[in-house]
Amino acid sequence: MSAVEMVVNMYRAMNMEEKKDLMFELSALAIKDGLVSEADVESKPKVSPAKKGRGGWRTGKKTWAKTLTGYDAAAKAVMRLEGAWINDPAKDVEDNGYYIVGFREPKHYILCRNDGGSESVVENNGDSVSIVGSVISRHDSFKDLDARVRDIFS
């Protein structure tokens, strides 16, 4: 059995206080022996950072927005609505372009058009979002929104 294996086995047998003391002692020895500098030890985060989730749903956003450039009847669900996911309709939607703003809880969808109109605030159950241009329609079900978008692009 190697010395490393013996130390690891001893570490596993320790309680949390002993493990903590051992780590402080090993850190001090590593600095003293020149294996690491004190700046290296202090610059490392104490806890590894949380991994970012994909998309707004996992990051806690209450709304989402997507441009509309077409309709693909063969695709599933929201992917039928062709376009790009956006963060700011004022910057990301072209003139006379369509876009959707979706609220997560409770589910609600707003179909909009950037027709050069002014920016306004739309509310849904206490949550608000800025709309650029005009609101074409509001829907409580995706099925209704899907039918309306299909009518626009067919």
Place of tokens 């369509």: 98
For residue 90, the surrounding DSSP H or E stretch is helix 89-92
Looking at the domain assignment, is residue 104 inside a domain?
Answer: yes
81 CB-near residues (< 8 Å, 6+ apart): 66, 68, 71, 100, 146, 149
For residue 143, the surrounding DSSP H or E stretch is helix 142-152
Same domain, 69 and 36: no
Same domain, 61 and 36: no
pTM: 0.59
For the chain, list residues with pLDDT below 70.
40-60
Cα gap 66→104, rounded to integer Å: 14
Same domain, 9 and 59: no
Same domain, 139 and 85: yes
Looking at the domain assignment, is residue 50 inside a domain?
Answer: no
Looking at the domain assignment, is residue 110 inside a domain?
Answer: yes
Same domain, 33 and 70: no
Looking at the domain assignment, is residue 139 inside a domain?
Answer: yes
For residue 26, the surrounding DSSP H or E stretch is helix 16-32
Same domain, 113 and 143: yes
Cα gap 86→97, rounded to integer Å: 13
Q: Which long-range contacts (CB under 8 A, 24 or more apart) does 69-75 make?
A: 69/97, 70/153, 71/149, 71/150, 71/152, 71/153, 71/154, 73/150
139 CB-near residues (< 8 Å, 6+ apart): 108, 109, 110, 111, 145, 148
Q: Domain tally for the chain?
A: 2
Same domain, 38 and 107: no
Looking at the domain assignment, is residue 48 inside a domain?
Answer: no
- Phi/psi at 86 (nearest 5 deg)? -130, 160
What's the domain range around 113? 55-152
